[in-house]
Chains A and B, each alone.
Chain A
Amino acid sequence: MTSEWAIEATGLEKSYGAVKVLGGVDLRVAKGSVFSLLGPNGAGKTTTVRILATLMRADVGAARVAGFDVVGERREVRRRISLTGQYAAVDEEQTGDENLRMMGRLSRLSGPQARGRARELLERFDLADAGKRRVSTYSGGMRRRLDLAAGLVDRPSVIFLDEPTTGLDPRSRQAMWQVITELVGDGVTVFLTTQYLEEADKLADRIAVIDGGTVVAEGTPAELKKRVADHRVDLVLADTQAFDIVAGILGNRVILRDPARLTLGAATDGSAAHVRALLDEVDPAHRAIRSFGLHSATLDDVFLALTGHTASTEKETAHV
Chain B
Amino acid sequence: MSDTFADSRTMIGRSLRLTSRNAEALTMSLMLPIMLMLVFVYLFGGAINTGTTYVTYVTPGIILLCAGFGASMTAVSVSKDMTGGIIDRFRSRDISGAAILAGHVAASVARNLASTVLVFGVAFLIGFRPAAGLVDWLAALGILLAFILAISWLSAAAGLLAKTPEGANGFTFVVMFVPYASSAFVPVDTMPSWIRGFAENQPITPVIESIRGLLLDTPVGSTPWVALAWCGGILVVSIVASAALFKRRTS
Contacts and interface: CB of A to CB of B under 8 A. Distances in A.
Partners in one complex: yes
Interface of A: 53-55, 57, 75, 78-79, 81-83, 85-91, 93-94, 98, 102-103, 105-108, 134, 147, 150-151, 154
B95 A98 contact: no
Contact of A134 (B21, B86, B94, B250): B21
Contact of B10 (A55, A91, A105): A105
Given A87-B84, A88-B85, A98 B90 contact: no
21 contacts: A53-B92, A54-B92, A55-B91, A57-B251, A75-B94, A78-B93, A85-B88, A89-B86, A89-B88, A91-B14, A93-B17, A93-B21, A94-B14, A102-B14, A103-B89, A103-B93, A106-B10, A106-B95, A107-B93, A108-B3, A154-B93
Given A78-B94, A102-B14, A106-B7, A89 B21 contact: no
Which one of A78, A105, A106, A150 has the highest number of Cβ atoms from chain B below 10 Å of its Cβ?
Answer: A106
Given A93-B17, A134-B21, A87 B85 contact: yes
B92 A91 contact: no
A57 B250 CA distance: 11
Nearest to B94: A78
Contacts of B17: 93-94, 98
A103 B11 CA distance: 10
Contacts of A82: 92
A165 B250 CA distance: 26
Interface in B61-97: 84-86, 88-95
B18 interface: yes
B86 A91 contact: yes
Which one of B3, B6, B84, B85 has the highest number of Cβ atoms from chain A below 10 Å of its Cβ?
Answer: B85
A296 B3 CA distance: 55
Nearest to A77: B92
A150 B89 contact: yes
B190 interface: no
Nearest to B250: A55
A196 B90 CA distance: 28
A87 B251 CA distance: 19
Contacts of B85: 85-89, 147
Contacts of B91: 55
A79 B251 CA distance: 19
A46 to B, nearest CB: 11
A108 B10 CA distance: 10
A106 B88 contact: no
A102 B93 CA distance: 12
B22 A93 contact: yes
Contacts of B7: 106
A93 B17 CA distance: 8
Contacts of A134: 21
Nearest to B91: A55
Contacts of A83: 88-89, 92
Interface string B1-34: 0010011001001100110011000000000000
A57 B251 CA distance: 8
Given A55-B88, A87-B85, A105-B10, A94 B18 contact: yes
Contacts of B84: 87, 89
